[in-house]
Every structure is written in C-alpha cells, then in structure tokens.
C-alpha cells in the first residue's frame, strides 16, 4: 500500500517533468488554476504519466471527478489498497 507522502512525491516529479518546472509544490487543495502551464493538454499528459507510474488507467469519468490534487492522491492511495 502506498503512503500519501510517497504519492505526493511521485506526482511532484511527474508535474515537474511534464511542466518543466522545478518549483512545483503540490498540496491537497492545489488545482490547475494554481500552476502555470497546467492546461487541458498538459493535464492529459500528467494523467497518462501518472497512470504509467502507478500502473492505473483513469477513465474520463474518473479524471472529471478529481477536483484537486487531494482527490487524485486519495484515488491512487485507495487503489493501492486492493
């Protein structure tokens, strides 16, 4: 099972890589509005890479259900329990 902090750390790497920005700080409440360059296209790339890293597939419905980074982290941690 994954810990929240390990998921945040992996996500920070993915965001930094896709957005080419080393100053990314992710919190539970972070949304696309808070981060430069996080738009619909980079969102897809972030979701694809997150899926690869955690060996998950996100359906469109799941992606739409994430309202902030906290939702995404909770989803990944939850999946790792099964």
Partner 1 sequence: MIDTLYEDLAWLPAAPPDFRERCRLVAQNDDPGRELRALASYALSTPQLNRLASAFERVTSPSDRLPQLAPFRLGLLGNGTLDAIAPAIVASSLRHGFAMECVTVPFGTFAQQAYDPASLIHRARCDAVLLALDARALPLHGPAMDREEARTVVDGAVAVLDGLRSALHAGSGTTCIVQTLAAFPETLFGNADRRTSTTSRYLVDAFNERLIAGLTGSPDVLLDCAALAETVGLGRWHSPAQWNLAKLPFADAYVPVYADQVARLVGAIKGKSRRCLVLDLDNTVWGGVVGDVGMENIAIAEGDAVGEAFRSVQRFALELRERGVVLAVSSKNDDAVARRVFREHPDMLLRENHIAVFQANWKDKASNIKAISEELSLGLDAFVFLDDNPAERGIVRQMLPDVAVPELPADPAYYARTLAAAGYFESTVFSPEDRQRADYYERNAKRVALQKELGGLDEYLASLDMEITFSPFDAYGRDRIAQLINKSNQFNLTTKRYTPAEIAQLERDSDVLALQIRLSDVFGDNGMISVVICRRADRAVWTIDTWLMSCRVLGRGVERMVLRELIARARACGIARLTGYFIPTGRNELVRDHYASLGFRPDGEAWCYDVTESEPEPTMRVRYG
Interface residue list for partner 1 (CB under 8 A): 17-18, 20, 40-41, 44-45, 47-49, 57, 59-60, 63
Minimal distance in Å, beta carbon 41 to partner 1? Answer: 6
| CB of 28 or CB of 37, closer to partner 1 | 37
d(CA 23, CA 40): 20
Q: How many beta carbons lie within 10 A of that of residue 75, not counting itself?
A: 19
Minimal distance in Å, beta carbon 14 to partner 1? Answer: 9
């Amino acid at each position: 099972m994954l810990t929240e902090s390990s998921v945040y750390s992996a996500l920070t790497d993915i965001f930094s890589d896709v957005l080419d920005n080393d100053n990314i700080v992710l919190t539970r409440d972070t949304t696309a509005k808070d981060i430069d360059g996080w738009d619909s296209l980079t969102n897809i790339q972030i979701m694809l890479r997150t899926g690869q890293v955690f060996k998950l597939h996100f359906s469109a419905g799941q992606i739409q259900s994430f309202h902030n980074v906290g939702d995404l982290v909770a989803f990944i941690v939850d999946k790792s329990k099964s």
